[in-house]
Structure 1
């Protein structure tokens, strides 16, 4: 089986703790051949743990080396657009960490670049690869709780200044809309859209509660899907609490957890899988076999971001998602 020669660009938290463990399990599909990072010491450290690929002092040198078929971008969000553009100019495939960009306006430019290139641009949204959300979708479509009327998702992350994500420089002074609200929120938007379909409008309030987190860190929303399902999504990155994901139908309700779904009085176990490994596997097959890029499609990632940007800019007013995607 042909291996893809992969360059790692950015050796921070995502590359070290999320991407590399997945790539280690996929050594039959990928060979890490090059690495670069803003701090050379971080690149060298990553190289030592990943088979000693060539370390480059700059992204441009890595792209010009001829050592990579694809790059894995795990860089500050504001670099996604220029780094994707440079890779495509060099004829190199891209897998890039979410969110797609700092805002919908620049995200549209990435979508345009992808459409006009014969190389793959894959936005790495691992929630689109999480088995439990696909299982929930399956059970709903099978009518297990009747016609869905309402869903509520409350998420209490509870970060403080000791959290390594909070200490990341580019997150302290975020250039991406809403700070953590979009950084983490596109995950939740992806799951909601996967299960229930497209969101038509949203009314939301966003707040900055913690002095330790860059940007806003609390969001509460009311919204409606195009199919008429009403939803509430509340998330806080500074407050602690118990998460709850509830779906209410005309014949019962379900609660969604990471490893199970409680369906009325029954428990449906969902085997845990590495969603990062699954997204890299999918990226491989999109490149090598020509599989449609449905799960890493930049247009889907743009819709995730549009939901969050509409929430952040709503100020309590009814705001239509389509206004951000025109």
Structure 2
């Protein structure tokens, strides 16, 4: 398959601050950005201007927006020189735009979450599998935590047995969101028309990271959800107890309602095994504006006739998940896949299912496997 040009659909914060830098970092490994689309003409112009600066372009990508048939989304999708689209639109709009883009014969990389809820996600995946997958069209979900080298390194260390057999885990996410936050000021987030609010939009990252690191799938959940800051409706906090695989369990808690910008000292992720443990935390890197993921591995060294000793290993990987997911998507289209499963829509839907279960559990045990069958 050949990969010509691409278009970005959606001109919000993430397109400017994550997508454009990722394309710039890939350089010649990325296809040409030929067009941008937004519902408003102004935001489309803003993204095009940002692209010129970020990608050092001699000419701006073509601008498409609603309100004029000659420059609307259908006009963009009719262009034969655009092979693929990257979609970063409001959560409730994305499933429809994914299908429209596929119907136009474009490969699609759509931002997480895959859909607002499990029901819509299953329907979307079923349509893709039945109508477009057999035509060779590729659809992937852009979940950058899944692609982060740090989380994947932690998963590889666990798979290699560096902490023995996994026995329990925990994940803690504490975020402070006020009304002045650039993320809160996005209109579709200010009055969300989807379950969970920030918990869905941001919470799937945490679940995806666990999915990459843990050796077995999350299977059951019991938890509670609450709203602690009225402007973060419908929910801003969840606390859950989770089972994974056949033998281990853990806790996952996340909130976007911290009362202070400062956060309590706590590891973001800790996975414990019979012979050690792994923690993963985001850290600042001296001399760099980009953070990194620090993977700390503590393992027990057992030597016959000697006392047990602890061995320490530290892995630090720059955070470049968006760049990694873009490269995986472009390579897949070009037939150069490295065998990774980055961006599988069904896996991304399991992340949504976790959040949905946590929001609705009210202490009851929810079977996560039943929510998302292997064959929608």
* 2:228 maps to 1:209: yes
- After TM superposition, the structure 1 = structure 2 runs for residues 73-84 of structure 1, keeping only pairs within 5 Å, are 73-84=87-98
**C-alpha separation between the residues in 2 aligned to 1:257 and 1:4?**
38
Q: Of 159, 163, 182, which residue of structure 1 is paired with 2:181?
A: 163
1:94-243 aligned at under 5 Å gives the runs 94-116=108-130, 117=132, 118-196=136-214, 197-239=216-258, 240-243=263-266
Q: C-alpha deviations, 1:288-324, integer Å up to 9, x for none?
A: 1163672111111111111111111111111101232
Q: Which has the larger radius of gyration?
A: 2
The Cα shift of 1:146 comes to 2.1
Describe the shift of the 1:260–1:290 C-alpha distance in structure 2 as closer, same or farther (beyond 3 A).
closer
Structure 2: distance between partners of 1:274 and 1:322: 30
The unaligned stretches of length 5 or more in structure 2 are 52-56, 66-71, 283-292, 299-309
After TM superposition, the structure 1 stretch with the greater mean CA deviation from structure 2, 158-167 or 72-81, is 158-167
TM-score by length of 2: 0.82
Distance 1:293 1:62, change over 3 A: farther
State the partner residue of 1:295: 342
Answer yes or no: is 1:56 the counterpart of 2:46.
Answer: no
Q: Secondary structure at the match of 2:357?
A: helix
Contact conserved, 1:261 with 1:268, CA < 8 A, in 2? yes
Residues 23 and 236 (structure 1), Cα distance of their counterparts in 2 relative to 1, 3 Å cut = same
1:167 to 1:275, Cα distance in 2 relative to 1, 3 A: same
Task: Tell me, in whole angstroms, the C-alpha distance in 1 between the residues paired with 2:349 and 2:340.
Answer: 14
2:295 maps to 261
Cα distance in structure 1, aligned partners of 2:80 and 2:296: 51
Mapped to 2, the partners of 1:281 and 1:242 lie a distance apart of 35
Separation in 2 of the partners of 1:49 and 1:208?
36
Partner of 1:249: 273
Deviations 1:35-82 (A, max 9, x none): 111221111111123241111122222112334111111000111111
Distance 1:13 1:212, change over 3 A: same
Matched residue, 2:316: 270
How many angstroms apart in 1 are the aligned matches of 2:40 and 2:233? Answer: 22
* Equivalent pair of 1:145/1:251 in contact (CA under 8 Å): yes
Q: How far apart, in 1, do the equivalents of 2:198 and 2:247 lie?
A: 28
Q: What do you get for the CA RMSD once the two structures are aligned?
A: 1.8
Indicate the residue corresponding to 2:8 in structure 1.
8
Instruction: Give the TM-score taking structure 1 as reference length.
Output: 0.94
Distance, in Å, in 1 between the alignment partners of 2:174 and 2:121 is 28
Contact 2:16/2:50, CA 8 A, preserved across alignment: no
> Relative to structure 2, which stretch is displaced further, 82-91 or 286-295?
286-295
The corresponding residue for 2:104 is 90
The secondary structure found in structure 2 opposite 1:263 is strand
1:16-49 per-position Cα deviation (integer Å, ceiling 9, x unaligned): 1011100122241211111111221111111123
* CA distances 1:223-278 after superposition (whole Å, capped 9, x unpaired): 10023211100111121433422122222322212332222252412231411111
Q: 1:290 to 1:254 in 2, by over 3 A?
A: closer
Inter-partner Cα distance in structure 1 for 2:27 and 2:297: 38
Aligned residue-pair number: 326
Structure 1 consecutive aligned stretches of length 4 or more whose deviation exceeds 4 Å? none
